[in-house]
Structure 1
Amino acid sequence: MKFRHRPAEEPEINLIPFIDVLLVILIFLMLSTTYSKFTELQVSLPTADADNLKDRPREIVVAVSADGRYVVNSQAVEGRAVELLSGALSQAAAGNSEITVVVSADAAAAHQSVINVMDAARRAGLSRLTFAAQSNPR
């Protein structure tokens, strides 16, 4: 008996399903990267036209430096604790809860420093609070 030796068939890889999967992934990535720019948080900080500072006897000016130090009505507050700042605000208010607290914070001051001033004013019973701003250069 003579058996013929059949040549071994090379396995054939069907690329059509592979290409379909890659196209679906490509379309998904294209759509998701297109919409990613719309989900970013765009923050444009406002500017203010500030009036000239008027001398008002019923206000307490709290200055916040860039490194987090506080000054209440030209008197430096020793330390950076909210309790110390609250005590200084209570002393400056002298029991009058109708006084307005003006927060004059440096542009480079930490957000937490400004929040500490707001918290100290609340603890001192001062509910009127405003923020100082510079006028825009024209």
Structure 2
Amino acid sequence: MKLGRGRMDEDPEINLISLIDVLFCLILFLVVTTTFNQRSMLKLQLPQSQSGAQADAGEPLMVLVDSEGKYFIGNNAVLKTDVASLKEALVAAAGDDRTMPVVVRADARSPYQSVITAMDALGQLGFVKLQMATTPAPKANER
């Protein structure tokens, strides 16, 4: 009398559907939360100026101040908005060269104190070639 077999007829299988769902959710989460480092996409509304002074042909150090008063040195964001943090970021970006031109691109809606803080940090470090970026003012007949 034989009551049962010693082995099973069915082969064990691994269900991959739940694994694929988890991986899809993980990839979707990473794509949504990733910040793409494109500072050229930062929309600044520059103040207007009547004079059309052009910057030097050399590669300037760019200091951006957005409308909320946050600082960006080149492509890197400065985490704090105090003078000490800004000076550390400027030294890291420029090194020992204090003769390089510096262009401050401040949004027209940025707090005035943020622009003054950036200029103060540059002055304390000894930068002498400071330029403010502006856009040309519309002519009287274009308004």
1:46-74, CA deviations, whole angstroms, 9 ceiling, x for partnerless residues? 733546777632x1110101110000111
* Sequence identity percentage: 31
**TM-score (normalised: structure 2):** 0.57
Structure 1 portions without partners, runs of 5+: 1-44
Q: Check whether the contact 2:62–2:105 (CA below 8 A) recurs between aligned residues.
A: yes
1:136 positional shift: 2.8
Gapped runs of 5+ residues in structure 2?
1-46
CA offset digits 1:76-98 (Å, max 9, x no partner): 11110111111111111110110
Name the TM-score, length of structure 1 as normaliser.
0.59
The C-alpha deviation readout for 1:20-67, integer Å capped at 9, x for no partner, is xxxxxxxxxxxxxxxxxxxxxxxxx9733546777632x111010111
* Separation of aligned partners in 2, 1:107 and 1:117: 15
Partners of 1:70 and 1:77 within 8 A in 2: yes
The within-5 A match list for 1:18-97 is 47-50=49-52, 56-57=58-59, 59-97=60-98
Secondary structure of 1:61's counterpart equals strand
Amino acid at match of 1:126: F
| CA RMSD between the two structures | 2.3
How far apart, CA to CA, are the structure 2 residues paired with 1:136 and 1:110?
Answer: 21
Match of 2:124 in 1: 123
Distance 1:96 1:77, change over 3 A: same
Q: Which has the larger radius of gyration?
A: 1
